Amino acid sequence: MSDQRPESAKVHAILVHGMGRTPLSMLLLAKRLRAAGISTHLFAYSAAFERWLPCVERLRKFITARVGEQRFIIIGHSLGCVLTRAVLPHLARAPELGVFLAPPTKASSYAIKLAQWRLFRLITGEMGQLLARQDFMDSLPIPQIPLRVYAGTKGPRGSWTPFGDEPNDGVLSVKEVQLGTIPVQLLPTIHTIIMNSRQVAADIVTVVQTGSEDDGFPG
C-alpha cells in the first residue's frame, strides 16, 4: 500500500459524531489531527429526523466527494461507528484505518431500557430504536480494515447502576464495546467526551505517519 500511496500524500480523516451530538463534539479531535497535517471532514446527521438507509447513503456520498483517490481514514463515535460499519462495504475504496470510539456492538442495555419511553423514541428516531435490536446489530459486518477500538471506564459502578460492577463509560459497558476479537483500548474517560482524549489523537497520528498498525496501541 505504501508504494501506491506515499507518506507525503495528503491524508483525509472523516469524522462521524454520535447520537444526540453534532459535529461540534468532534472539533477538538479534528483540531489535533489538522495540527499533524491530516485534513479533516466532519459529517453531520440527525438521528431524530433522518432514516437509517438514506443517512448511510448520504455518508457514502460525503466520503466519496471529499477523499477522491487520496488516502483516508474514518473515525466514528458511538452511533457514528454503527454508521461507519454500515457504509464500509459500499465504498469504492476502503479506508486505511478505522477508529471506533465507544462503539455499541451489541444491543445496548441502555438503549433497550430507554426505548420504552416515548420521549426517547421521539428524540432518537429510527436510529435509536435500531441500537436496541440485537438482530440489527448482528447484521452489521465486522470491518475488514485495520481497526482501533476504544472504551471509556469512568462511568459509575455499583448495584444502583445499570452496569453493576462492570467497567463502563456511563452509557456502554466495556463488554458492549467489544467487537469480535479486536483488542479494546481502555481510557479513563466517559462516553460523551472520549473523543477528546489526547491518547486517541496521538495514536491516530502515529499510525498515519508510520503506517504501522501496532504503534501507539497496546493490545
SS (H, E, C) the chain: CCCCCCCCCCEEEEEECCCCCCHHHHHHHHHHHHHCCEEEEEECCCCCCCCHHHHHHHHHHHHHHHHCCCEEEEEEECHHHHHHHHHHHHCCCCCCEEEEECCCCCCCHHHHHHCCCHHHHHHHHHHHHHCCCHHHHHHCCCCCCCEEEEEECCCCCECCCCCECCCECCCCEHHHHCCCCCCEEEECCCHHHHHHCHHHHHHHHHHHHHCCCCCCCCC
Query: Per-residue pLDDT for the chain (219 aa), expressed as one digit of tens each?
Result: 333 344 446 899 999 999 888 999 999 999 999 999 999 999 999 887 889 999 999 999 999 999 999 999 999 999 999 999 999 999 999 999 999 999 999 876 665 565 565 545 555 556 777 877 889 889 999 999 999 999 999 999 988 877 889 999 999 999 999 999 999 999 999 999 999 999 999 999 999 998 765 544 443
**Phi, psi at 163, each rounded to 5°:** -100, -5
* Helices 118-130 and 52-67: angle between axes, nearest 10 degrees: 60
In this predicted structure, what is the pLDDT of residue 125?
58
List the grid coordinates of 80.
457514528
Domains of the chain, earliest start first = 11-209 (3.40.50.1820)
Taking alpha carbons only, the member of 37, 87, 18 closest to residue 205 is: 37
